[in-house]
């Protein structure tokens, strides 16, 4: 049976997107005699505007190790999908272009927002399969997302290098790790890099307890500390506030980020030389790790199997070391937070790592 398969990558880029695209394509060519693959440019923006092109088998060669995405990506927020822009009904446009491109299905590689839009399209009658991509590892229903382990590797190298300069200068180094809502990346990076303190959104911190942990190290002759901080952290006072109230409070205080505030407070309360390090987009750039290349290949092959079986309205996942799938309706709109009693949190605490709580 012939299949005409659309593929798009949406949201932020991360290592493993091209490896997943390659896995899908190679498996489809292996499984089916008559398959056509259509690359949709710049995520949902391309589907809205009808920007797409047919791809050849040679397009998928040499991209296993390539970072970014050969299809390009863009952020098209889910909350604006039902809103007209320049008199364009985005949902209607995507449905029309799906038909115009004569697609039998579309594969969407992305994070939480991408999966919500994928579910919306599925509810509108399109054949959709989602694949879980994000360095945040926060997609519900899957133990891991591709891109996460590469980001952990990069973050760990940052912490390793900061350790030597922190030790040499006897400084407190506060490293901001991407993670606006969840702390998986900061947690794993902190443990792998041997951080002394880990601060994540799921565990609001008390700055006095953070300072106490720093001073306790100094009292033991350890004149430096390394702190990994998820960018979306907030303290125990802010935890009682709504998001808008927190933003107003920080604006009044003149703080650009929570990380800068933490560093300033530590310096003011202890007198220790304190610096901020922001690796930023380094964490999601470059070639994927061997782990993510394998995972991306597995996810791509499984998605191709779903296409060949005609199983749609689902999202690929890994649970208990087995690749499987969930209903898009079950995944959309849910976030996988770090439970405060998670085994990794317990592991960190047993290693003497403080969470400021």
Question: Counting Cβ atoms within 10 Å, is residue 34 exposed (0-12), middle (13-18) or buried (19+)?
Answer: exposed
Neighbours of 292 (CB within 10 A): 28
Structure tokens at 134: 């994000």
Instruction: Tell me if 116 sits within 8 A of 333, measured CB to CB.
Output: yes
59 vs 70: CA distance, rounded Å: 9
Cβ atoms 235, 201 nearer than 8 A: no
Q: Could you say which DSSP state residue 354 is in?
A: B
The reply to whether 235 belongs to the active site is no
Q: Point out the catalytic residue in the list 13, 59, 104, 136.
A: 136
CB 114 within 8 A of CB 316: no
The Cα 287–Cα 19 span in angstroms is: 10
DSSP 68-121: S-TT------GGGTTS-BTTB-HHHHHHHHHHHTT-SEEEEEESHHHHHHHHHH
Q: Rounded to the nearest 10 degrees, what angle do helices 148-169 and 184-193 cross at? A: 50
User: Structure tokens of 80?
Assistant: 């604006």
User: What is the Cα–Cα distance from 164 to 330, expressed in whole angstroms?
Assistant: 45
Q: For residues 21 and 57, is the Cβ–Cβ distance under 8 A?
A: no
Q: Which residues are catalytic?
A: 136
């Amino acid at each position: 049976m012939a299949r005409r398969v659309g593929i798009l990558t949406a949201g932020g880029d991360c290592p493993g997107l091209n490896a997943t695209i390659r896995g899908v394509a190679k498996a489809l060519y292996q499984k089916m005699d008559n398959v056509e693959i259509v690359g949709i440019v710049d995520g949902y923006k391309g589907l809205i505007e009808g920007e797409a092109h047919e791809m050849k088998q040679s397009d998928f060669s040499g991209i296993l190790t390539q970072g970014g995405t050969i299809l390009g990506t863009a952020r098209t927020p889910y909350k604006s999908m039902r809103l007209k822009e320049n008199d364009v009904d985005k949902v209607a446009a995507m449905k029309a272009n799906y038909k115009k491109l004569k697609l039998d299905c579309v594969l969407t590689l992305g994070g939480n927002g991408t999966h919500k839009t994928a579910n919306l399209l599925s509810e509108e009658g399109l054949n959709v399969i989602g694949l879980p991509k994000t360095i945040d590892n926060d997609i519900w229903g899957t133990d891991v997302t591709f891109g996460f382990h590469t980001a952990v590797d990069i973050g760990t190298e940052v912490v390793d290098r900061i350790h030597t300069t922190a030790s040499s200068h006897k400084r407190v180094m506060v490293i901001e790790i991407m993670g606006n809502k969840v702390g998986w990346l900061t947690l794993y990076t902190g443990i792998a890099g041997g951080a002394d303190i880990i601060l994540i959104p799921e565990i609001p911190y008390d700055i006095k307890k953070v300072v106490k942990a720093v001073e306790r190290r100094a009292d033991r002759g350890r004149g430096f500390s390394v702190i990994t901080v998820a960018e979306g952290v907030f303290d125990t006072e802010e935890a009682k506030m709504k998001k808008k109230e927190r933003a107003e409070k920080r604006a009044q205080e003149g703080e650009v980020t929570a990380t800068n505030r933490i560093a300033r407070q530590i310096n003011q309360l202890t007198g220790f030389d304190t610096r901020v390090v922001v690796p930023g987009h380094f964490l999601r750039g470059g070639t994927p790790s061997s782990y993510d290349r394998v995972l991306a290949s597995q996810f791509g092959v499984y998605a191709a199997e779903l296409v060949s079986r005609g199983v749609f309205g689902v999202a690929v996942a890994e649970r208990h070391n087995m690749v499987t799938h969930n209903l898009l309706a079950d995944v959309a709109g849910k976030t996988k937070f770090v439970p405060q009693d998670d085994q990794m949190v317990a592991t960190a605490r047993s290693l003497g790592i403080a969470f400021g709580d």
